[in-house]
Amino acid sequence: MKAVVFHQHGGPEVLRYEDVADPKPGRGEVVIEVKATSINHIDIFLRRGMPGVKVPLPKIAGSDAAGVTREIGPDVADLAAGQRVVINPGISCGRCEFCSAGYGSQCVSYTMVGEHSDGAYAQLLKVPAHIVVPLPDSFPFEEAAAASLVFLTAWSMMISKGNIRPGEDVLILGAGAGVGTAAIQLAKMAGCRVFATASSDEKLERARQLGADVLINYKNEEFDKKIRELTNKRGVDVVVDYIGADTWVRSLRSARRGGRVLTCGATTGFAPQTDLRQIFFRQVQVIGSTMGSHREYMDVMKCVFRGQLKPVIDRVLPLAEAAKGHELIENRSVFGKIVLIP
């Protein structure tokens, strides 16, 4: 099969489109013919290499996929070859203390598709059968592959852990990222007022079309000051921050007394300075989240399949142009997701 492989860590140029051996399904596994995959930040981190994380090379990245089942391994009960499917991009064991309690994303052996095994930047993808979910007949592969990771991330963080409620003010930082476009829609669905930040007026206009109520261009103004001004010094009920080092201090300042700051990533760096007084004196709750359980995946995808939540696709590229896609995301010149078609 054809796949996008990297043999060493580095910039987008290390991604090579080449021939590799077809995967074979083992016990409890399924091989899917990938019709669409999409780029996530984890793919970029894996490509660059992360301190303290050993990535087996050569490597095929990619966590999101939708396609058609090609080959079913032994001991898989309810799947047949030729079915339209989408995958939950997270794999949990189903047996540990945390899985047993229903918190699959806290699994002691939690891993992403494409993290320790080969991923979806390929014509064929091998995954455990328990993460494979049937895709409704008329639902486009591109949208399914663009939705899974970002909507699962936003749903678990905001609905389950962040407990956003009607009438609350929610600040979403970096509205143009995949998770940002999902977070805006979820907050609107929950009946919140949405404050969105982005680096350009063009992206803010797109955010407005998704439902954002108040727009802040963070290149022109300091967003925490703007939030205090707009809310009569009160601050917002909830801040959604996956930017990390560049925004953390201002995120804490933007939350109201007793507000919540939700974090599910740190694309600009993971060791920001924290003034602890902003947390204890103002009684702000910091809530961490990563991915979500299979229950949450089924819940959010139900809304996606019904059209209540719609993945935002910036563009669709052939898989062979994965490097270009990485470059566009690293330059922040996209709004929403980049989908790759093998």
Alpha carbons 80 and 134: distance in angstroms, whole number: 11
| Closest residue by Cα to residue 94 from 85, 103, 86 | 103
- Among positions 32-61, residues that touch Zn ion (CB under 5 A) are none
Using CB under 5 A, count the residues that bind Zn ion.
5
Amino acid at 201: D
Nearest 10 degrees: CA dihedral of 6, 337, 330, 16?
20
User: 56-74: b or e for each residue (b if 16 or more CB lie within 10 Å)?
Assistant: eeebbbbbbbbbebbbbbe
Min. distance of Cβ 98 from Zn ion in angstroms? Answer: 6
Q: Using alpha carbons, list the distances in angstroms from residue 205 to 20, 60, 197, 226, 247.
A: 43, 35, 11, 18, 21
70-109 residues in contact with Zn ion (CB under 5 A) are 92-93, 96, 99, 107
Please state the closest distance from residue 104 (CB atom) to Zn ion, in A: 7
Q: Which amino acid is at 286?
A: V
- Cβ proximity to Zn ion, 100 vs 220, nearer residue: 100
CB nearer to Zn ion: pick between 76 and 107: 107
- In the bound complex, what is the minimum distance in angstroms from residue 93's beta carbon to Zn ion? 4
User: For residues 100 and 308, which CB has a smaller minimum distance to Zn ion in the complex?
Assistant: 100
Residue 156 makes contact with Zn ion by CB under 5 A: no
Toward Zn ion, which CB reaches closer, 70 or 161? 161
Pick between residue 1 and residue 93 the one whose CB is nearest to Zn ion.
93
Nearest distance in Å: CB 325, Zn ion: 32
Q: Nearest approach, Cβ of 23 to Zn ion (angstroms)?
A: 24
Q: Which is nearer to Zn ion, 92 or 181 (CB)?
A: 92
Q: How far is the CB of 97 from Zn ion (least distance, A)?
A: 8
The secondary structure of residue 319, as a DSSP letter, is G
Contact 239, 228 (CB under 8 A): no
Q: What is the DSSP letter of 284?
A: P
Among positive and negative, which fits the CA dihedral 44, 47, 52, 57? positive
Binding site residues, Zn ion, CB under 5 A: 92-93, 96, 99, 107
